[in-house]
Structure 1
Amino acid sequence: MRIIRPDAFATQQWKNGGGVTHEIARAEDESGLIWRLSMAEVASDGPFSAFPGLERILTVIDGAGLILETDGGPIAARPLDPVRFSGDLTIHGRLIGGKVRDLNLIYDPKRIDGAVRLVDGTHPLHDGPVAALYCLSGRFRLSGEEIGSGCVAILDPAATAPKADPGATGLYISLQEVSV
């Protein structure tokens, strides 16, 4: 297991000035991006970056949410309710009541099947060879290590799942290889 604390996230301002992205972790090879986990601070309405050929799962972790305006109709991104959409979509994000922070999983759907779900320690966590846990509140523990609020643990597939302290919540990110 590797714990990534917020001060280790790679931060980049958006070109349009509407927010900030904090890259948490990524995997890539000679063919390109396999997956990327990041957090965004969205400060104003505006266009979303396109990720052609990739899939996205966005989960609002702070704030009232976003409406993602697309040619196919709006997608409501509500707090702690992961929404999946194509990185090919042209999206204009509209804030529902002020700034938001969201967790983003971007991945190559030809190689990976990604999922994000809310956990509180009452459900088993491991269901893929690569997994991560973003602690929203409280603490999770594994092998004497503490995963505190705002931290991300990249989990070893062979390890037992982290245990949640009472009241702890998190987002579990699973990445399974697509069978050919």
Structure 2
Amino acid sequence: MRILRAADYRVMPWKNGGGTTTEIAVSPDGAGLDAFDWRVSMARVEGSGPFSSFAGIDRTLSVLEGEGIVLDVAGRPAARLTPASQPFAFPADLPTSATLIAGPITDLNVMTRRGRTAHSLERMTISRPMDIATEAGSTLILCHKGEAALTGAGSIRLGPLDTLLLGPDAPVLRVEPARDTTLFVVQITTAA
């Protein structure tokens, strides 16, 4: 179990050089863009344009801040993503471009190497205590808005954009929000 504080995340250029991304976690630790099994990051998107292509990668995107974007995947309008919409999954090796709806956005990206790992991404808004069960692989809990205390393996407090990274033997966690809190829960498993 590791607590990843927002102030410690690594900022690096996009693969296509069009902006920057804030890496929350990557496996294996320190892996580059062509060698990761999985990667979770946030990106600030300042303008419309093409996405970087990642061969053999599955990707899920969710809008954290801003009005949103419209994605075009493989030449077809695929999704209109806003802070209220569900996360959108697509192959990261298909030609993809985005059109901003009304100004810059910040998005959350989860990427896994096809054939090695798989993932799910869920947004949760909670206002009362609840339990989160972990999967057999890695679980990341990102506190997007608000604050949350997590108990089950000690007591941990997450502030905005802090993340808790749990391994496969993690217990069920009890989440107690300080006020209305939005969490993103990423489950990463080894591909069958």
Aligned residues: 179
Q: CA deviation at 1:129?
A: 2.1
Instruction: Name the CA shift for 1:50/1:16 in 2 (closer, same or farther; >3 Å).
Output: closer
Corresponding residue to 1:148 among 134, 159, 176: 159
Kindly provide the CA deviation profile for residues 56-115 of structure 1, in whole angstroms up to 9, marking residues without a partner as x: 001111111111123341122222520000011111211011111111001012122200
Residue 39 of structure 2 corresponds to 36
Report the CA distance between 1:21 and its aligned residue: 0.4
Contact 2:57–2:114 (CA under 8 A) maintained in structure 1: yes
Structure 1 residue 161 corresponds to structure 2 residue 173: yes
**Superposition pairs for residues 1-180 of structure 1, below 5 Å?**
1-14=1-14, 18-28=18-28, 32-76=35-79, 77-80=81-84, 81-119=86-124, 120=126, 122=130, 124-142=132-150, 143-157=154-168, 158-165=170-177, 166-179=179-192
Query: RMSD of the TM alignment (CA)?
Result: 2.3
Q: Which amino acid aligns with 1:127?
A: E
State, as a whole percentage, how many aligned pairs show the same letter.
Answer: 31
Q: Larger deviation: 20-29 or 79-88?
A: 20-29
Letter matched to residue 57 of structure 2: L
Q: Which amino acid aligns with 1:79?
A: P
- Equivalent position amino acid for 2:139 in 1: A
Distance 1:167 1:150 in 2: 15
TM-score by length of 1: 0.88
3-state SS of 2:55 partner: coil
The amino acid of 1:154's aligned partner reads: L
Check conservation: 2:131, 2:172, Cα contact below 8 A: no
* Equivalent position SS for 1:32: coil
C-alpha distance in 1, partners of 2:20/2:144?
19
Counterparts in 2 of 1:33 and 1:141: CA distance versus 1, 3 Å: same
Q: State the secondary structure of the residue aligned to 2:52.
A: coil
- Partner Cα distance (1:54, 1:70) in 2: 14
Where in structure 1 are there 5+ consecutive unaligned residues? none
TM-score (norm 2): 0.83
Unaligned stretches of 5+ in structure 2? Answer: none
Work out the CA distance in 1 between the residues paired with 2:138 and 2:15: 31
